[in-house]
A and B are shown apart, each in its own frame.
Chain A
Amino acid sequence: MEDRLEKALNWALENFKADYIEIRYENISKNTLELKDGTFTTFADKGQMGVAIRVLADGAWGFSSTNRLENLEKAIESAYRLAKATAKAKKEKIQLAEIKTYQDFVKSKMKIKPKEVPIEEKVERLMDLESLLKEDGAIKSTWLRYEDASGEKILITNEGTKIKWDLNYVWQYVWATGKEGEKLAAARDEVGAVDYGWELFKEKEPNEEVAKRVIRKVHAQLEGVAPKRGEFPIVAGPIVVGLIAHEALGHLAEADLTINSPFKDLIGKQIAPEYVTMSERIVEGGFGNDRYDDEGVPVKDIHIIENGVLKEIMLNREYAHKWNMEPNGHARAENYTYPPIIRMRNTIFEPGDWNFEEMIEDIKFGYYVVDFRGGQAQLNSAFQVGVQEGYMIENGEITKPIRDTSISGIAIEALKKISAVGNDFGLEMGRCGKGQTAFVSSGGPHMRFDGGIIIG
């Protein structure tokens, strides 16, 4: 396939005067299973194959995609013509930051790749998980989704980048509905990995653990009481801390969004206490891990907030040039039908030195928020997180669960109210939508906020 792509690239170089041409091919086989209350409503084998082409000409981008390889040259020509047409409307010409180009093969770190696992085993495991969930009398309905992929991705550019990936992932999503009397409650759970294969489900996330977690979340809501509305001390668990890192702060540090956000004028300034550090980095088991991004740039660890100071942001080559910075590997495309855009990978708060008991012992009344269902943020860092598992803290003790509530605040204000950073660490896998879906993870230690977050 590399030969076919190179031939097309050479043809394009001979025929068009482009500043940059990038061809990204992918050919991936996926297994998708959905088990809804005893029935596999989806039992699918998917072949996803196509080419994405991005051309920079006269300082503007043109993009095209096709899954008909016989149209490859035509698609390059489309992208070129689109770039030329767009250029006419452009005041500021796009330029790309210089990079060192790589020729590499990115091997998978998986021990057991999903394609090596017989489908029967995938089926059995989901059925087992379903029956474990339904052993609990309150669980009335379950929806389990599983997807894996194995295949290859090839990126070649006119600058000499030539990278081939052995691309694999596994992903699982659980939605369970519980009922007790007239009360209905629902909980979600999501796990996934790009560096762990089937071993994820054997070693890290066995069915028993997942089921226990989901049942706990459903019961917390069924038995939960409505919280008091208002501003109270909040202790957030790693999953919620991660969501704040991702939704409320991470997006502001994506260079294309930074420019319209309060972060723009805060780079280099103290925005949080000195014991707060937030990173975008490779994490053991991180769902956003990779060696190169979709522009062929090596993925680098960055500190968005270091010791309280807003320091680095996520860049692609275009924005790296604009900001006069080094690109750091955050250009990602969902698949061949999309151009790469600036995305997060694994966004986390780094651990501190508090233990959990110390953190809650002097709270007379507050809340402990453990897990969320959906979260959203605005460019001014206003965020809202639906809480699917949370508890009251009364006189230094965790007491009753709370139900169907949410927390909200302005993250850059809430950051200043962080009074303790835990010495533990947790990571949550998820999918982020920014027009395209990307696998990401987020997490951190337990953290305490004395104000800045409203519950209710």
Chain B
Amino acid sequence: MEELIRFGEKFFDELEIATYKSRDASVNIELNEVSTSALRERVVTVVRGVKDKRLGVAIVDSGDKEKIKEAIERAYKLAKLNKPDEKWVSFPEPGKYREPRKVDKELKEVSPDYFVELAREGIGMASEEGIIVAGGGGGAEWGESLIVNSHGVNVSQEGGGAFFYIELVGMKEGKVTPGIFDFDAKLSLKLDVESVVKNALQKVKWAFKTEKSKTEEAKVVIEPWAVSSLLSYALFPAFSGERLVKGTTPLANKIGESISNELLTICDDPLHELSINPVIADDEGVPTRRNVIVEKGVFKGFVWDNYWAKIHGVESTGNGKRNLSTGGISIGFHNVVIEGGKKSLEEIIGEIEHGYLVSGFQGAHSSNPDNGNFAVVANPAFLIENGEVKGSAVFMMSGNVYELLPNLYAVSREQKVLPFGGSMVVPSMAFDNVRIAGK
């Protein structure tokens, strides 16, 4: 790589070369059957170079030296055509990395056959009358990356993870339940298929009975997958330093202020014990760290990549994430952790006289990150009466995330690992006085 950097320096004032190798082994489940097994291998190299503050990027589906040289030349041609970016400062300098997590090499070699067996097991456990395994899958992903730049950054990482998920649909007496899914993701092959199927089955059974939801203000318990989808679109973008610079975050001037209450703590912590994305460097080679974003309800600060941090005169927090289809870097998260609370989900539900449990939101991605407004459909969702789940109840929930968060009254002890935007570790969260529109 050094040789390639030196080659690139003939053209550029500074440059970065990042190579990503991946191997995915997976199987698909379709209609109670394993459908396709797949093995996919890919090598992608991204060259970013800057000449007189002009950026040029080239991406090539290869890790070959000659192909990378060609890519450097193509990136240079583009850079010459680009307009100078007067805000550009420089690529990152080398930093000190933490000790990487031990990786499970089994993930690198595992054959899709392994997941064929796992899928067969899962389908078997779910085969009950009126239950269809509509979809699902399992697999392992292995990745190796190398990021070098002309300032001396040189960091290689490797690692992988495995996942299993299942989607069940209930069909009984002409009634079709919404698709209910559950999953497990780990840094090893020790996937808990049994719990995945058990959880999904439980919910399909609840969903067979439909209950009416009212238009009212009620307690709403939101489960991890639904929490992550809502907050990922309505709240987390507001943590981006780029938005602070541009004035498009409602959190500007809010550092040190409470946006919720002492129950809410959010950090981005790639090396958290449950993380399935334990990176020691971000996609620009900047060391990652544990960034506390919200502590006991108080907003602590923004996250940054190299570019925006330098413009704002702060340090990158190691949150540069690369989009492999465009080569570009933008601010993102590695492993968002929402701290768990004291009570179990069961206890939280048990204390509710009348309320709702939400497993998924439809339309969270239509939320407005610029102001926190959302309008989503809670589905799958369930009615809770006298501490028990009674049946499925679909409703609309629209409002503003900054008005919702102060109504947080309980956070579950259990946290779930989600393969969402890298990885997330999320508990169930219970809110009081949530306005809902029933159906």
Instruction: Assess whether A32 is in contact with B327, with CB atoms less than 8 Å apart.
Output: yes
**14 A-B pairs in the complex with CB atoms less than 8 angstroms apart:** A32-B327, A43-B55, A47-B62, A49-B61, A68-B41, A82-B37, A85-B116, A89-B119, A89-B120, A374-B365, A374-B367, A376-B362, A382-B379, A386-B366
Size category of the A interface is: 35 or more
Instruction: Assess whether A42 is in contact with B37, with CB atoms less than 8 Å apart.
Output: no
Min CB distance B438 to A, Å, is 9
Binary per-residue interface labels of chain A (209-229) against chain B in the complex, 1 for a CB within 8 Å, 0 otherwise: 000000000000000000001
Contact of B61 (CB < 8 Å), options: A50, A64, A261? A50
**How far, in whole Å, are A454 and B376 apart by their CA atoms in the complex?**
12
Instruction: Assess whether B134 is in contact with A65, with CB atoms less than 8 Å apart.
Output: no
Instruction: Assess whether B119 is in contact with A40, with CB atoms less than 8 Å apart.
Output: no
Identity of the chain B residue whose Cβ is nearest the Cβ of A380 in the assembled complex: B176
Known A-B contacts A39-B87, A68-B41, A406-B363; the reply to A384 vs B377 at CB < 8 A is yes
Q: Is B9 part of the binding interface, using a Cβ–Cβ cutoff of 8 Å?
A: no
Instruction: Assess whether A379 is in contact with B178, with CB atoms less than 8 Å apart.
Output: yes
Q: Is A66 part of the binding interface, using a Cβ–Cβ cutoff of 8 Å?
A: yes
Instruction: Assess whether A43 is in contact with B38, with CB atoms less than 8 Å apart.
Output: no
Binary per-residue interface labels of chain A (390-423) against chain B in the complex, 1 for a CB within 8 Å, 0 otherwise: 0000000000000111101000000000000000
Instruction: Assess whether B55 is in contact with A40, with CB atoms less than 8 Å apart.
Output: yes
Q: Is B132 part of the binding interface, using a Cβ–Cβ cutoff of 8 Å?
A: yes
Chain A residues, CB < 8 A from B375: 384, 386-387, 404-406, 456
Instruction: Assess whether B363 is in contact with A68, with CB atoms less than 8 Å apart.
Output: no
Chain B residues, CB < 8 A from A60: 34, 36-37
Binding site for A on B (CB under 8 A): 27, 30-31, 33-43, 55-62, 71, 74-75, 77-79, 81-83, 85, 87, 111-113, 116-117, 119-120, 132, 134, 169, 171, 174, 176-179, 215, 246-248, 250, 307, 323, 325-330, 362-363, 365-371, 373-377, 379, 394, 396, 398, 437, 439
**How far, in whole Å, are A84 and B396 apart by their CA atoms in the complex?**
47
Binary per-residue interface labels of chain A (101-142) against chain B in the complex, 1 for a CB within 8 Å, 0 otherwise: 000000000000000000110010001000000000000110
Q: Is A383 part of the binding interface, using a Cβ–Cβ cutoff of 8 Å?
A: yes
Min CB distance A149 to B, Å, is 11
Known A-B contacts A83-B37, A179-B247, A374-B365; the reply to A186 vs B56 at CB < 8 A is no
Chain B residues, CB < 8 A from A379: 134, 169, 176, 178-179
B-facing residues in A358-397 (Cβ within 8 Å): 372-380, 382-388
**How far, in whole Å, are A50 and B62 apart by their CA atoms in the complex?**
10
Chain A residues, CB < 8 A from B78: 43-45, 119
Contact of A46 (CB < 8 Å), options: B42, B81, B325, B376? B325
**How far, in whole Å, are A47 and B73 apart by their CA atoms in the complex?**
13
Instruction: Assess whether B36 is in contact with A62, with CB atoms less than 8 Å apart.
Output: yes
Instruction: Assess whether B36 is in contact with A46, with CB atoms less than 8 Å apart.
Output: no
Identity of the chain A residue whose Cβ is nearest the Cβ of B116 in the assembled complex: A89
Identity of the chain A residue whose Cβ is nearest the Cβ of B26 in the assembled complex: A63
Known A-B contacts A43-B56, A229-B437; the reply to A337 vs B365 at CB < 8 A is no
**How far, in whole Å, are A405 and B377 apart by their CA atoms in the complex?**
11
**How far, in whole Å, are A264 and B367 apart by their CA atoms in the complex?**
32
**How far, in whole Å, are A268 and B250 apart by their CA atoms in the complex?**
52
Chain B residues, CB < 8 A from A50: 42, 61
Known A-B contacts A34-B326, A260-B132, A454-B396; the reply to A40 vs B82 at CB < 8 A is yes
**How far, in whole Å, are A387 and B40 apart by their CA atoms in the complex?**
38
Identity of the chain A residue whose Cβ is nearest the Cβ of B48 in the assembled complex: A44
**How far, in whole Å, are A42 and B56 apart by their CA atoms in the complex?**
8
Chain B residues, CB < 8 A from A78: 39
Instruction: Assess whether A177 is in contact with B174, with CB atoms less than 8 Å apart.
Output: no
Min CB distance B375 to A, Å, is 4
Contact of A374 (CB < 8 Å), options: B62, B120, B366? B366
Known A-B contacts A32-B325, A32-B327, A86-B36; the reply to A386 vs B363 at CB < 8 A is yes
Chain B residues, CB < 8 A from A43: 55-57, 78-79, 81-82
Identity of the chain A residue whose Cβ is nearest the Cβ of B400 in the assembled complex: A404
Known A-B contacts A42-B57, A47-B61; the reply to A67 vs B366 at CB < 8 A is no
Binary per-residue interface labels of chain A (164-203) against chain B in the complex, 1 for a CB within 8 Å, 0 otherwise: 0000000000000101000111100000000000000000
Contact of A86 (CB < 8 Å), options: B31, B34, B171? B34
Contact of B326 (CB < 8 Å), options: A32, A48, A92, A94? A32
B-facing residues in A58-108 (Cβ within 8 Å): 60-68, 71, 75, 78-79, 82-83, 85-86, 88-92, 94
Min CB distance A354 to B, Å, is 28
Contact of A378 (CB < 8 Å), options: B82, B111, B362? B362
7 additional contacts, CB 8 Å, given A86-B36, A373-B366, A378-B362? A48-B61, A86-B37, A89-B120, A120-B81, A185-B368, A408-B363, A454-B437
Chain A residues, CB < 8 A from B379: 378, 382
Instruction: Assess whether A386 is in contact with B367, with CB atoms less than 8 Å apart.
Output: yes
